[in-house]
Amino acid sequence: MNRKANLLTLVLTLVLSVPAIAQARSLPDFTELAAKAGKAVVFISMEKTTQDSPMGPFRGRSPEEFFEHFFGPRQKPQPRKMLGQGSGFVISNDGLIVTNYHVVNGADKVTVRFQDDKKEYPATVVGADQETDLAVIRIKTDHSLSPLKFGDSDDVQVGEWVLAIGNPFGLDNTVTAGIISAKHRIIGAGPFDNFLQTDASINPGNSGGPLLNMDGEVIGINTAINPDADNIGFAIPSTQAAKIIALLKEGKTPQRGWLGVTIQDVSETQAKALGLPEPTGALVASVGKGAPADKGGVRQGDVILEVNGQKAEDNNDLLKKIAGLAPGDEAALVLWRNGEKVTKTVTLGQRNEKAMAAMGPDHQDQGQAATVLGMSLKPISDQEAQALGLDKPQGLLVVDVDPNTPAGEEGIRQGDVILQANQKDVNSVADLNSVIKNAEKRGAVMLLVKRQGRNSFVALPLDNK
């Protein structure tokens, strides 16, 4: 019985081992790829001078106020050197190297070191673009270089094997492998988020290094991590980066189109309130006076559905499509307005990053208020309009909100001003109730809300009013 049992165990072990052996043989071998691509990956060091106080900032006051209050006039802050490091990779035989903007931003001195080469090469910044976090630097060497080529990140599939090479925590030429976990990630890093997500280990110091496919092509530039997770990293897609790098290496600054509007995604409830068949496009929350969109006939409350015949899926997609055009280009926009499609042509301006002015202090006087949809509302007086930063008395002031109603759940707050309902001005509670009555068939009403100088749309369902 023991011999039979042993033979049976042996047979089962061999049978169970076959899939494991087959699986092991199917795993990729990264040795050749790592050795070849590693020659093009560099370690980047930078130094910059700051004028920080040696005591650091004092919460609630400037350092000058703090020291002068307690010790009298003090000496000027002394310059202090700040050190940083990152990664990069060679893209040309004449010493052009790609890295991240944040790796070299503000640097007084940039140096580059290659794998198995202790010599440090001084580098100069050729071009940099903050909005896409890309930079190109140049070095002069006395030996031949092995540049990497860009691949097509649009062809990359989720689940595909990738290799990351960089210098995490100063550990030169570290190689990590993984897969593409997701595409088109938006993580709030900048206005043109469109990241590849990977589980190939990326850490501080990997910034600017390449993410490679199995053919040794750069399909991403490692740039960000999720600090609250293990092995979740993000890379700028090569197809997006290549266009910017082509300009930067010639010392040119990317020129991006600008509409001059603030926009937001369209929720299901907002789509219902607007009569849109589906939640798509970008909802125009405000239009800058005299901006290209204003001159082209775009209005607050419009939903931008298409740009030059291409569908705008959402807020982020519209931003990228407009920024992909040049100032002076014409953008044919298909808008959703008052239940139907309207076409407008806008001549784009240069992208403008000026912040909107903040609204005045919150107003506390509740006055005579009426409750609608869980909100306590009152018309706005001349004095209140001035305090709220309004050009004239308009809209309804939210003096209280029931948190257990749709208004509270959708984020309406005390101090908000409701300017419009379903794109009609509302200056009294009667105005608002009239719009709500007409909107009952749609089952939702969309409010234009001003908060701290910014306009946004909020849609409220009417079935729980």
Q: What is the C-alpha separation between 144 and 136, in angstroms, rounded?
A: 19
- Position 439 scores a pLDDT of 87
Please name each of the domains of the chain with its CATH number: 36-72+79-138 (2.40.10.10), 153-241 (2.40.10.10), 257-350 (2.30.42.10), 370-461 (2.30.42.10)
CA distance 429 to 369: 9
CA separation for the pair 463, 312 (Å, rounded): 30
What is the residue whose two structure tokens read 């990317």? 254
Q: Extract the annotated binding site for substrate.
A: 47, 102, 133, 205-207
For the annotated binding site, the residues are 47, 102, 133, 205-207
Q: Are 337 and 247 in contact (CB under 8 A)?
A: no
pLDDT at 378: 83
Residue 193: predicted pLDDT: 82
- Asked if 97 and 91 count as a contact pair (C-beta separation under 8 A), the reply is yes
What is d(CA 223, CA 99) in angstroms, rounded to the nearest whole number? 9
27-82 pLDDT tens trace:
789 999 999 999 999 999 999 876 554 434 333 344 444 334 433 454 555 567 77
- What torsion do the CA atoms of 240, 242, 244, 245 make, to the nearest 10 degrees? 150
Between the CA of residue 351 and those of 131, 150, 296, 354, what are the distances in Å? 11, 28, 16, 10
133 is catalytic: yes
The residue from 133, 193, 302, 317 that is catalytic is: 133
Active-site entry in 87, 102, 153, 363: 102
Q: Which of 87, 153, 181, 207 is catalytic?
A: 207
pTM: 0.66
What is the full per-residue pLDDT of the chain (465 aa) written as tens digits? 555 556 555 555 555 555 555 555 577 899 999 999 999 999 999 998 765 544 343 333 444 443 344 334 545 555 677 788 999 999 999 999 999 999 998 889 999 999 878 899 999 999 999 889 999 999 998 888 989 999 999 999 999 999 999 999 888 889 999 999 999 988 877 778 889 999 999 988 899 999 999 999 999 999 988 777 778 999 999 999 999 999 999 988 888 999 988 888 898 888 998 999 999 999 998 888 889 999 999 998 899 999 999 999 998 899 889 988 989 999 999 999 999 999 999 999 988 554 333 223 333 333 446 788 888 888 887 666 766 767 788 889 888 888 888 888 888 988 889 999 998 999 888 889 889 988 888 888 999 998 877 889 999 998 744
Comparing CA positions, the residue from 197, 255, 241 lying closest to residue 101 is 241
3-class SS of residue 252: coil
